[in-house]
C-alpha cells in the first residue's frame, strides 16, 4: 500500500465501536443542561492567538507550551482553541450578550493542546462546558456544580469521583499571598526549575502548578493561600458547601487546588478520580469575575466548568459495555427480494419511528445472512419469502420471547410488532 497516512499523533478516530459511548455521554449532557434551562452556544475552533494569551495567561502551561498557533495566509497569528471559556466570553462580548443580561450557556466541542499523548491526555480532546454570566454569590455556583454532579450521576460514575473545592480569595488576598510566596521562594531561587524561576517575577502563583518534583518539594513549606483568606472568603466557601450538601452533594476542601489558568478569581472546583492515574481530573471549573472586562466587555461576574469527555468515557468503558443494537433486521430470503426488503424496512420505520431498522443488503445466502444477524442481536427478525404463487410473506420473530408469526400482509406484520412490543 506504499505510504499509508495516519492520524496525527495525539489525535484519535472515533470508530463505530466507540461511538455509542460518545452518543451516550453527549446526549446525557444535553438532557442535563436542558433540564436546567441552559442555552447552547457554538463558537469557531480558530481564534486570534491574542484571545488566549490575554485570558488564560502568558505564563500558563497552556499558552506558553501547549497551543497550536500559526500564521495564516494573511500573516495573522491564529490558534486552535485550547479551551472554550475564553471563546464564549469573546463571542458574548461581540454579540452584546452581557449588557444587563444574565446568561446560562453550554457548549460541547473539540479542544487542542500540544501535550505528551498518554491515556486520558490527547492533542485533540473534547470538552462539555457550562458558563453562567451576570450572577454573583454562591447560589449560581451551587447550581453549576450541581449540573456537573448530575452529569456524573446520570453516567452512573459518582462512586468513582470526589468533588474538591477551594477559594482563591479576593484580589487583595491573592496579592498578599503572592508577596509572601515570592518572599519565601526568592532565597531558594536557584533550586527552582527554569520555568518557575521566570515565573517568580512574571506570575508567581503559577509556580504552584509546577509538575517538577524538586519545585513541589520546596513548596511543601511555602505559605498557603488558605492562610491569607479573609473571613468572608472562608464563610463563602462553607456556605456553598452547605448549599451543595442540602442538594445531596458532598465536597472536600483542597487548599492547594489552584487551577492552571490565570482567569480564576474565587471558588474553584474539580471532580477527581483515582482510576485514571495522573490524568485524574474529569471536570474542572470556577469563578472568573474579571475575564469579561479584561477582554473588553463590561465587568460581568462569571462561573463555569469544563468536563473532559475522553476521561469520562474511559471510566465508562471500564464499567459498562455500550453497543448499538438494531431493534429489527429485515432479511431478504433471496437476494432477488432486496427491493421488497427496502420497501418493508421503510414502512416499518414509518410505523416505529424510534426503532433502529436494519436492512440486510449484502446479497449473501440466507444462512450466511442469518449468522451475521444473530451476531447483531436484534429484538426482531423479519425474513421476506415468496409462496408458490410468487406472493411475498413475512416470517417475523421476537428473539426475546421466541414468539413468531408468518404474515401474509404488511398490515399483519405491523399488527404482530405492535402486539409484541
Binding site for ligand ATP (CB under 6 A): 83, 113, 115, 120-122, 125, 127, 260, 279, 281-284, 306, 308, 310-311
Residue 280 exposed, middle or buried by CB count within 10 Å (0-12, 13-18, 19+): middle
3-state SS assignment for residue 56: coil
To ligand ATP, the closest distance from the beta carbon of 111 in angstroms equals 7
CB of 295 to ligand ATP, least distance (A): 18
Q: Which is nearer to ligand ATP, 283 or 413 (CB)?
A: 283
Cβ 414 to ligand ATP, closest distance in Å?
Answer: 47
Between 68 and 184, CB nearer to ligand ATP? 68
Residues in the chain: 421
Instruction: Tell me whether residue 133 or residue 271 sits nearer to ligand ATP (CB atom).
Output: 271
114 or 356: whose CB is closer to ligand ATP? Answer: 114
In terms of CB distance, is 121 or 397 closer to ligand ATP? 121
CB of 306 to ligand ATP, least distance (A): 4
Gap between the Cα atoms of 386 and 380, Å rounded: 20
Closest CA to 392 of 322, 330, 316, 314: 330
Judged by beta carbon, residue 284 or residue 383, the one nearer ligand ATP is 284
Minimum distance from CB of 362 to ligand ATP (Å)? 38
Q: Alpha carbon of 201 to those of 104, 207, 271: distances in Å?
A: 37, 11, 31
Quote the least distance from Cβ 239 to ligand ATP, whole Å. 24
120/333 with CB nearer ligand ATP: 120
Provide φ and ψ at 386, rounded to 5°.
-125, 150
Smallest gap from Cβ 359 to ligand ATP, in A, equals 38
Which of 307, 315, 306, 313 minimizes the C-alpha distance to 21? 313
Of 11, 92, 105, whose CA–CA distance to 55 is shortest? 92
Kindly write down the DSSP assignment for every residue of 110-131, as one continuous string: EEE-----BTTB-SEEEEEEEE
Nearest to 120 by CA among 280, 319, 284: 280
Locate 346 and state its grid cell. Answer: 421503510
Q: What is the DSSP string of 205-260?
A: GGGGG---HHHHHHHTTS--GGGG--HHHHHHHHHHHHHHHHTT--EEE-TT---S
Name the minimum Å distance from CB 259 to ligand ATP: 6
Q: In the complex with ligand ATP, which residue's Cβ is closer, 281 or 398?
A: 281
Counting other chains too, the contacts that 16-21 makes at CB distance below 8 Å and 24 or more residues apart are 16/324, 17/323, 18/313, 19/324, 20/322, 20/323, 20/324, 21/313, 21/316, 21/317, 21/322
What is the spatial distance between Cα 347 and Cα 129, in angstroms, rounded to a whole number?
Answer: 40
User: Which residue is at the shortest CB distance from ligand ATP?
Assistant: 308
> What is the smallest separation between the CB atom of 187 and ligand ATP, expressed in angstroms?
29
Q: Which is nearer to ligand ATP, 216 or 404 (CB)?
A: 216
Amino acid at each position: 500500500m506504499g505510504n499509508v497516512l495516519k492520524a496525527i499523533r495525539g489525535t484519535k478516530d472515533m470508530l463505530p465501536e466507540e461511538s455509542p459511548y460518545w452518543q451516550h455521554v453527549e446526549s446525557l449532557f444535553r438532557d442535563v443542561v436542558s433540564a436546567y434551562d441552559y442555552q447552547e452556544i457554538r463558537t469557531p475552533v480558530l481564534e486570534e492567538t491574542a484571545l488566549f494569551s490575554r485570558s488564560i495567561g502568558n505564563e500558563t502551561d497552556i499558552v506558553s507550551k501547549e497551543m497550536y498557533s500559526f500564521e495564516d495566509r494573511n500573516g495573522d497569528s491564529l490558534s486552535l482553541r485550547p479551551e472554550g471559556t475564553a471563546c464564549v466570553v469573546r463571542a458574548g462580548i461581540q454579540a452584546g450578550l452581557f449588557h444587563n443580561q444574565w446568561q446560562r450557556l453550554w457548549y460541547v466541542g473539540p479542544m487542542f493542546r500540544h501535550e505528551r499523548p498518554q491515556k486520558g491526555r490527547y492533542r485533540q480532546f473534547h470538552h462539555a462546558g457550562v458558563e453562567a454570566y451576570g450572577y454573583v454569590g454562591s447560589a449560581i455556583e451551587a447550581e453549576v456544580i450541581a449540573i456537573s454532579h448530575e452529569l456524573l450521576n446520570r453516567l452512573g460514575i459518582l462512586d468513582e469521583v470526589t468533588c474538591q473545592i477551594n477559594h482563591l480569595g479576593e484580589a487583595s488576598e491573592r496579592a498578599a499571598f503572592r508577596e509572601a510566596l515570592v518572599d519565601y521562594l526568592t532565597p531558594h531561587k536557584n533550586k527552582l526549575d527554569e520555568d518557575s524561576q521566570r515565573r517568580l517575577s512574571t506570575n508567581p502563583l503559577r509556580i504552584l502548578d509546577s509538575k517538577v518534583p524538586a519545585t513541589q518539594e520546596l513548596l511543601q513549606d511555602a505559605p498557603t493561600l488558605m492562610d491569607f483568606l479573609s473571613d468572608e472568603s472562608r464563610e463563602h466557601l462553607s456556605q456553598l458547601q452547605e448549599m451543595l450538601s442540602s442538594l445531596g452533594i458532598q465536597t472536600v476542601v483542597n487548599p492547594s487546588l489552584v487551577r492552571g489558568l490565570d482567569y480564576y478569581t474565587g471558588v474553584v472546583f474539580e471532580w477527581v478520580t483515582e482510576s485514571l492515574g495522573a490524568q485524574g481530573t474529569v471536570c474542572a471549573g470556577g469563578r472568573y469575575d474579571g475575564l469579561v472586562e479584561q477582554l473588553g466587555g463590561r465587568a460581568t461576574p462569571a462561573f463555569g466548568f469544563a468536563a473532559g469527555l475522553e476521561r469520562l468515557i474511559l471510566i465508562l468503558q471500564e464499567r459498562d459495555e455500550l453497543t448499538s443494537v438494531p431493534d429489527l433486521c429485515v432479511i431478504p430470503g433471496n437476494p432477488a427480494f432486496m427491493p421488497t426488503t427496502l420497501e418493508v424496512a421503510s414502512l416499518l420505520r414509518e410505523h416505529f419511528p424510534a426503532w433502529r431498522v436494519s436492512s440486510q443488503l449484502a446479497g449473501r445466502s440466507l444462512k450466511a445472512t442469518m449468522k451475521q444477524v444473530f451476531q447483531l442481536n436484534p429484538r426482531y427478525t423479519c425474513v421476506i419469502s415468496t409462496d408458490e404463487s410468487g406472493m411475498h410473506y413475512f416470517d417475523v420473530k421476537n428473539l426475546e420471547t421466541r414468539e413468531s408469526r408468518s404474515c401474509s400482509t404488511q398490515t399483519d406484520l405491523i399488527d404482530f410488532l405492535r402486539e409484541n412490543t
